[in-house]
């Protein structure tokens, strides 16, 4: 008879509903408004991107497209610059993620083992750079000496190890794999590589998926390093290209680009460019979202 306690509500899908109160609707309404702020902007841009120039310029496009046409997308594909950049960015992100995962695993497993002597020292070495970075210029000079400037590798290598992700993986291994499993493996004569590949990695699949996604999304979205280290146009990742096309790199005023938009780059094309870069994330997002939440929870518990 009593109202279900909040913690129990999770279990019951419709149990609480027979005692719905006004406050339930108020809360649902507030959440609805907040959710809409995350959807409507994209609906608007999507609508713009498939509307006619005249409809957009006369400000008749709100959430639904007017005079539907795909001209803007056609010109993106005809131009080829963005499609090339997207394929390049996918390849670069893939390499980045693969390298990042290998390094993360090779750091997390030893640090998760209590046997390892000097654990504190190694953890310190690997994590110190997270708290004290040398800064932009020394790193720029270093990558210059390493001949990385203006190559794809400057985007792939320097950032591809994240101490934070390593910590998440370490706590996952510590909390999911009991010592008894290691002992059993030891008795069978397994060495550390065998334990890693045959026991730890198969049991860590969810966290491996999560971290791979952390790496991939982080790389996909970042563009500051491209702005710092890359001047060759063909090597610029999609987000940087987008910032040059739509935001003018923050160099020119927004009002300027707005005036220019009416002449050379129509609003519609800009909207299509934004959608072009957003759609890939939107497509995978619903499927990978739960892995992200998991990863954050483990990260929150911390090792």
* Interacting positions 130-159 with other proteins (CB under 8 A): 131-142, 146, 157-158
Contact 168, 295 (CB under 8 A): yes
Residue ranges in 249-268 that form contacts with other proteins under rule CB under 8 A: 249-250, 252-255, 258, 261, 267
38 contacts other proteins (rule: CB under 8 A): yes
Residues 166/111, Cβ–Cβ less than 8 Å: yes
CB contact at 8 A, 83 and 238:
no
Q: Whose Cβ is closer to other proteins: residue 37's or residue 264's? A: 37
DSSP 77-115: HHH-HHHHHHHHHHHHHHHHHHHHHHHHHHHHHHHH-TT
For tokens 């959608």, the residue is: 275
Minimum gap (Å) between residue 171 Cβ and other proteins: 12
Q: Which is nearer to other proteins, 23 or 80 (CB)?
A: 23
Nearer to other proteins, 174 or 227 (CB): 227
User: Of 68-76, 84-92, 168-176, 280-288, which segment contacts other proteins by CB under 8 A?
Assistant: 280-288
Site string for other proteins, 49-88 (x = CB under 8 A): -------x--x--x--------------------------
Q: According to the binding rule CB under 8 A, does residue 287 interact with other proteins?
A: no
- Residue identified by tokens 């982080």 is 218
Question: What's the rounded Cα separation, in Å, for the pair 205 and 33?
Answer: 36
What is the phi/psi pair of residue 162, to 5°? Answer: -110, 115
Is 183 one of the binding residues for other proteins (CB under 8 A)? no
In the complex with other proteins, the residue whose CB is nearer, 2 or 264, is 2
Of residues 155, 268, 269, 277, which one binds other proteins by CB under 8 A?
A: 277
Total of residues contacting other proteins (CB under 8 A): 109
Report 91-130 residues binding other proteins (CB under 8 A).
102-104, 106-107, 109-111, 113-117, 122, 125-126, 129
Angle between helices 119-131 and 81-112 (to 10 degrees): 150
Alpha-carbon gap, residue 177 to 195, rounded angstroms: 11
Q: Which of the residues 196 through 235 are near other proteins (CB under 8 A)?
A: 196, 217, 220-224, 227-228
In the chain the first and final C-alpha atoms are separated, in Å, by 42
Among residues 32, 68, 87, 184, the one that binds other proteins under rule CB under 8 A: 32
Residue 45 near residue 282 (C-beta atoms within 8 A): no
């Amino acid at each position: 008879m009593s109202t279900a306690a909040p913690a129990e509500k999770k279990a019951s899908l419709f149990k609480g509903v027979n005692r719905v109160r006004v406050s339930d609707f108020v809360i649902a309404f507030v959440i609805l408004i907040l959710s809409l702020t995350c959807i409507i902007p994209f609906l608007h841009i999507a609508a713009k991107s498939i509307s006619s120039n005249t409809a957009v310029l006369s400000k008749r496009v709100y959430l639904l497209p007017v005079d539907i046409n795909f001209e803007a997308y056609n010109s993106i594909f005809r131009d080829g610059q963005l499609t090339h950049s997207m394929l390049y960015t996918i390849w670069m992100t893939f390499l980045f993620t693969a390298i990042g995962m290998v390094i993360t695993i090779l750091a997390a497993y030893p640090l998760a083992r209590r046997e390892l002597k000097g654990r504190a020292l190694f953890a310190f070495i690997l994590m110190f750079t997270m708290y004290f970075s040398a800064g932009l210029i020394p790193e720029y000079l270093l990558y210059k000496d390493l001949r990385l400037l203006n190559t794809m590798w400057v985007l792939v290598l320097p950032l591809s190890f994240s101490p934070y992700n390593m910590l998440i993986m370490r706590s996952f291994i510590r909390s999911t794999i009991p010592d008894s499993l290691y002992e059993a493996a030891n008795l069978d004569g397994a060495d550390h590589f065998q334990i890693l590949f045959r026991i730890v990695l198969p049991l860590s699949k969810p966290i491996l998926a999560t971290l791979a996604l952390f790496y991939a999304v982080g790389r996909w979205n970042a563009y500051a390093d491209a702005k710092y280290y890359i001047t060759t146009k063909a090597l610029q990742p999609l987000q940087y290209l987008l910032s040059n096309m739509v935001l003018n790199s923050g160099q020119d005023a927004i009002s300027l680009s707005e005036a220019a938009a009416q002449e050379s780059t129509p609003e519609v094309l800009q909207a299509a460019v934004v959608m072009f870069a957003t759609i890939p994330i939107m497509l995978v997002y619903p499927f990978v979202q739960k892995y992200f939440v998991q990863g954050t929870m483990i990260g929150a518990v911390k090792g």
